[in-house]
């Protein structure tokens, strides 16, 4: 296996996007592109990517704008772009996919989006689902429109006073403040991520994880969630695209299984032909970082291998 890092121009015209490729030895039987979540970066998927590379998959992913090594300095962490944040995120994802498909024409191509990356992926699929062999929607959720509209209006109003780069603990608490509520005696503010205390402690100590999103970051995320839940957009999706929705049953982002189920039912109602839902018992938000990750690894590998010819 070979691990390579590189950069490519962002759609914002200002940044170089950091990306990593995990290449298998021998022939590439499939490609998986990973869209990471909020307040993290793609190298956190190294263990899973190495596992797939040893199974013959090329794994690729980028640090989104405002994340990881795609920033000029740490002051930019948590800021995408105003006013085109979600647009540039999608274009950067598509740019990387285009590069890979030009290098490996005809190789089956999959995408995986986790958490914020799941909402980004769901929006991406409205435009770019053709040519994919499947998409894995991981750690996603479903929010009602009134809640999202309140969050968008509140964040926009605060930005008029404080600016889009401002970091608001109030908005952060509005978005994520209840995530530890189902955990008895949490050790850290990040226990909701996974039962694996080693992973939680590494996250808490990492400055590329442990930061508060800017108002622009939260506004962009709220908007992506709002857009991907609109039924008129779901109706336009490629009905032949295989979808696999996976989450932990104890994931607060998905309201403990209810959110992924609603997303599954929405896609099912609008005609997606090959769609599956799996909730992992006792697992929290980061199912790839749980103690039981071997089961998740095997399930995702099996799901992709069954669709290599689709």
For 166-181, write each residue's pLDDT tens digit: 999 999 999 999 999 9
Torsion region of 255: left, alpha or beta (phi above 0 gives left; psi -120 to 50 gives alpha): left
| Residue 300 in this model has a pLDDT that exceeds 90 | yes
pTM of the model: 0.98
Summarised one tens digit per residue, pLDDT across range 11-66 is 999 999 999 999 999 999 999 999 999 999 999 999 999 999 999 999 999 999 99
CA distance 62 to 51: 18
Summarised one tens digit per residue, pLDDT across range 69-119 is 999 999 999 999 999 999 999 999 999 999 999 999 999 999 999 999 999
Confirm if 49 and 293 have CB atoms less than 8 A apart.
Answer: no
**DSSP category for residue 255:** T
Summarised one tens digit per residue, pLDDT across range 206-235 is 999 999 999 999 999 999 999 998 888 888
Confirm if 215 and 155 have CB atoms less than 8 A apart.
Answer: yes
Confirm if 89 and 64 have CB atoms less than 8 A apart.
Answer: yes
Summarised one tens digit per residue, pLDDT across range 136-159 is 999 999 999 999 999 999 999 999
For the chain, strand residue ranges (E) read 2-9, 16-23, 30-35, 57-62, 109-114, 134-138, 243-248, 275-280
First to last CA, the chain: 26
Q: What is the dihedral of CA 35, 40, 41, 43, to 10 degrees?
A: -110
**H helices, E strands: number in the chain:** 10, 8
Instruction: State which fold the 2-142+231-305 domain adopts.
Output: Rossmann fold (3.40.50)
pLDDT of residue 64: 98
Provide the pairing of β-strand 57-62 with 30-35: parallel
Confidence of residue 162 (pLDDT cuts 50, 70, 90): very high
């Amino acid at each position: 296996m070979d691990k390579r890092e590189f950069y490519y121009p962002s759609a914002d015209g200002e940044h170089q996007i950091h990306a990593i490729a995990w290449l298998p030895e021998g022939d590439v039987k499939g490609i998986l592109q990973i869209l990471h979540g909020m307040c993290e970066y793609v190298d956190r998927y190294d263990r899973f990517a190495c596992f797939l590379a040893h199974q013959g998959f090329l794994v690729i992913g980028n640090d989104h704008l405002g994340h990881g090594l795609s920033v000029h300095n740490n002051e930019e962490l948590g800021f995408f772009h105003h006013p085109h944040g979600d647009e540039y995120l999608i274009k950067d994802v598509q740019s990387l996919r285009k590069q890979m498909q030009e290098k490996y024409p005809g190789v089956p191509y999959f995408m995986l989006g986790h958490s914020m990356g799941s909402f980004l992926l769901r929006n991406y699929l409205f435009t770019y689902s053709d040519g994919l062999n499947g998409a894995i929607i991981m750690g996603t959720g479903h929010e009602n429109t009134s809640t999202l509209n309140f969050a968008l209006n509140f964040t926009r109003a605060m930005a008029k006073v404080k600016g889009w780069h401002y970091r608001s603990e109030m908005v952060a608490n509005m978005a994520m403040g209840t995530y530890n509520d189902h955990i008895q005696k949490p050790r850290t503010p990040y226990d909701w991520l996974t039962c694996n205390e080693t992973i939680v402690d590494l996250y808490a100590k990492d400055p590329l994880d442990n930061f508060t999103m800017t108002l622009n970051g939260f506004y962009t995320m709220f908007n992506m969630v709002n857009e991907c839940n609109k039924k008129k957009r779901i109706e336009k999706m490629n009905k032949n695209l295989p979808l696999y929705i996976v989450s932990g049953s104890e994931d607060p982002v998905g309201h403990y299984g209810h959110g992924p189920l609603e997303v599954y039912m929405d896609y099912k109602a609008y005609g997606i032909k090959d769609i599956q839902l799996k909730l992992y018992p006792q697992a929290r938000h980061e199912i790839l970082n749980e103690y039981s990750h071997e089961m998740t690894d095997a399930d995702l590998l099996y799901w992709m291998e069954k669709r290599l010819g689709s």
